[in-house]
Amino acid sequence: MNRMTAGHSAPGWYPDPWRSGYSRWWDGVAWTEHSREGAPPTPTVEPSPPAETPAAASAAAAPAPAPEDHFRRMAEVAEATRTTEIPRVAPHAALPPRERMSEVPRRRPWAIAAVAAGILLALVGGATVAWSSGALESLADASSAQSSYVLDVQDLLAASIAEADEVAVESVECPDLTEQTGDAEFECVATLSTGEKVAIVAHIEGDGEKIVWMHAAP
């Protein structure tokens, strides 16, 4: 970027510090909005463009800073603005007292995923699985429910998340996997009464016969 020496503080056209190959008018105090293509003529100094405003005239009365100092301050302000972080507000800070999160026992998404994993293992493998925390002692054998696979997954997810998390479930949506063949990954989305959406992701192998892993999506 072009820099100017103290000898160039008089009004005139100088190399544009922002645009290579352009000239910009220096009014003796600061860079103006007037620019043009091409290098500035040397060593002549052209008359000032449009008449000075009262503000510019009063500023001219003060000692004029060197152009390079003015530009350096502009660069510092731009850099400070670019790197400033916007503070984040806690999502539940404005909830009324009766709905504060501290009064609603909640589990982390991975706990919900653990429950969902047990449910889907029961549906896909035909086994009865108990949740490790003891909140669900057993799940009914779902081997006869393969024809309504998606509805069973959604209903069981809603019931089990509500029991494990002590929060109501508004809805659960899962994809239709009745025609799925081979390995697949699918995602069910549970909408809680708090408005939070929890995505449960599973990877299955062998035409839905085995779940390899399951987790709560970020």
Q: Identify the residue with better confidence: 60 or 134.
A: 60
Q: How many C-beta atoms surround the C-beta of residue 86 within 10 A?
A: 5
pTM of the model: 0.29
Please report, rounded to a whole number, the percentage of residues in the chain having pLDDT higher than 90: 6
Helices (H), the chain: 54-61, 67-83, 109-125, 149-165
Tell me the pLDDT tens digit for each residue of 79-122: 665 544 444 545 444 445 544 433 334 444 545 555 555 555 44
Q: Identify the residue with better confidence: 96 or 9.
A: 9
CB 53 within 8 A of CB 32: no
* Summary count for the chain: helices (H), strands (E): 4, 7
- The secondary structure of residue 148, as a DSSP letter, is G
- The secondary structure of residue 10, as a DSSP letter, is S
197 phi, psi to nearest 5 deg: -110, 130
Nearest to 141 by CA among 160, 122, 118: 122
Q: Identify the burial level of 52 via C-beta atoms within 10 angstroms of its C-beta, where 0-12 means exposed, 13-18 middle and 19 or more buried.
A: middle
Q: What is the mean pLDDT of the chain?
A: 61
Taking the C-alpha atoms of residue 161 and residue 20, their distance in angstroms, rounded to an integer, is 61
CB 4 within 8 A of CB 26: yes
Average pLDDT over residues 157-178: 69
Taking the C-alpha atoms of residue 176 and residue 148, their distance in angstroms, rounded to an integer, is 10
Q: 3-state class of 49 per DSSP?
A: coil
Residues 6 or more apart whose Cβ sits within 8 Å of residue 22: 15, 16, 35, 36, 37, 38
What pLDDT does 134 receive?
37
Average pLDDT over residues 72-80: 64
What pLDDT does 106 receive?
46
Q: Identify the residue with better confidence: 15 or 84.
A: 15
